[in-house]
Amino acid sequence: MVYLTVCLPTRNRQAYCIKTIEAVAAADGDDFEVIVADNSDDPAPLADFFATTLKDSRFRLIPPVPAVLSMVDNWERALEEAQGRWISVIGDDDFIDTRVTGLIRRLEVLHRDVDAINWDCMIYQWPDNRPTSTLASIPMSSGISVHPKQTLADRLFRWSEGKRRPSVGIGIYHGAVRKSLMQRIRASYGDRYFEHPVVDWDNTCKVVAQATRMVHCDRPFSVLGACLASNSAASHSREVMKQRLEAFERESKGGIDLVQPEFPFSLIDPGASVCLTIATLTAWFCRTYAIDLTGFGPNFASAAMDECKYCYTREEYDAKVSCFERGFALWEGGQWASLFKPAPFVAPKTVNELSGLSDDMLHIRETGIAPATPAEFYRFGENAIMPVEHLLAGTKVFAL
């Protein structure tokens, strides 16, 4: 019986995807499957790899179709093939430890109505994506807690924290959602698993709205990798980010438009940010499905100011401030524009120069470290965190 389906959508990053497949295939166990949904322009690299190298019945390849699919549609067809009781999605330059099935089984015993689980992630930049000093991150805690649903809804839909990102990690991307919940989501939202081009946060909104019980584990079970071809890598260059956003919008034609007249902040503006991308998605979701947005206006003004604090250069700061100012001037008659008062720019003294522990997160300079892939970094990081077998046994303390 397939207990967990890991969906791996991919487009034109075949070399990274093959590394990810090889790393996951090294795992023991037969209670999981991996579905690789290839949306690449050239089908040959993955097709040849599956035909000649990968001899593993736990893996299935969905080949490209003649016309390029949007990211939404590629994720959609991967989910349609899932046979597992639980489903997870990772990127093609990421890694997941399939022993997470043990965590899910344990949480099903502790919380019989749990239908969404998330865990903390390690963060790692591939060696080709280190144009400046970079830090990898390893979460050090291992606790388990239940997400209060109303608290998550306030953070996500109304941005109650006033921070650049809502601290809501629940969802199918680097998390696990019970298949029955995904089927309920599909029945509730237009007979689709996914709708909006910002597909991971689209799912987060729907899980928060529909889940019965959501549980979080502090111990990491996956790695968010960032290769040179990733969208996160594009954030290092405004021109590259603009090109990728234009390509993303072009390939998403026919679906939901990234430009929302009711939320007139430009995502192709030089000062656009991940903060703005998430806000555009949540604003669309709440308008579309009549979710109370009370407090969103002033809270988002606070979040925009928080985003402006995270600038390395005066040029980046000026671009972000101008982008937000233009949007606030147009949004809802400019009624929130006066609340956007970002602090003056202060150049950081150092940028990713210091390794160390901060708020239960170990940050490590990636210059000179041995791991060359997210999977290797995960094994490296496991030396510093709670062993899986101890976590599943409920051990509170362990010794190396």
Same domain, 308 and 244: yes
* CA 297, 246, 322, 125 torsion-angle sign: positive
Same domain, 115 and 202: yes
Same domain, 203 and 250: no
Same domain, 118 and 262: no
pTM of the entire predicted model:
0.93
Q: Quick check: 233 pLDDT over 60?
A: no
The pair of structure tokens assigned to 382 is 């496991």
Is 178 in contact with 190 (CB distance < 8 Å)? no
| Residue at token pair 């696990």 | 176
What gap in Å lies between CA 99 and CA 88, rounded to an integer?
A: 13
Residue range 281-303: average pLDDT? 96
38-39-43 Cα angle (round to 5): 65
Same domain, 219 and 327: no
pLDDT of residue 256: 80
pLDDT digits (tens, 9 = 90+) for 100-154: 999 999 999 999 999 999 999 999 999 999 888 899 999 999 999 999 999 999 9
Question: In whole numbers, what is the pLDDT of the chain averaged over residues?
Answer: 92
Partner residues linked to 216 by β-bridges: 118, 145
Same domain, 198 and 236: no
Q: Quick check: 251 pLDDT over 70?
A: no
pLDDT of residue 117: 98
Is 86 in contact with 118 (CB distance < 8 Å)? no
292: domain range? 231-339
pLDDT digits (tens, 9 = 90+) for 174-223: 999 999 999 999 999 999 999 999 999 999 999 999 999 999 999 999 99
Partner residues linked to 217 by β-bridges: 119, 144
Residues written for the chain? 400
Return the SS3 of 226. Answer: strand
Same domain, 16 and 162: yes
Same domain, 133 and 52: yes
E runs forming strands in 11-115: 32-38, 59-62, 86-89, 95-96
> Is residue 360 domain-resident?
no
CATH code, domain with 142: 3.90.550.10
Q: Quick check: 370 pLDDT over 80?
A: yes
Q: Quick check: 19 pLDDT over 90?
A: yes
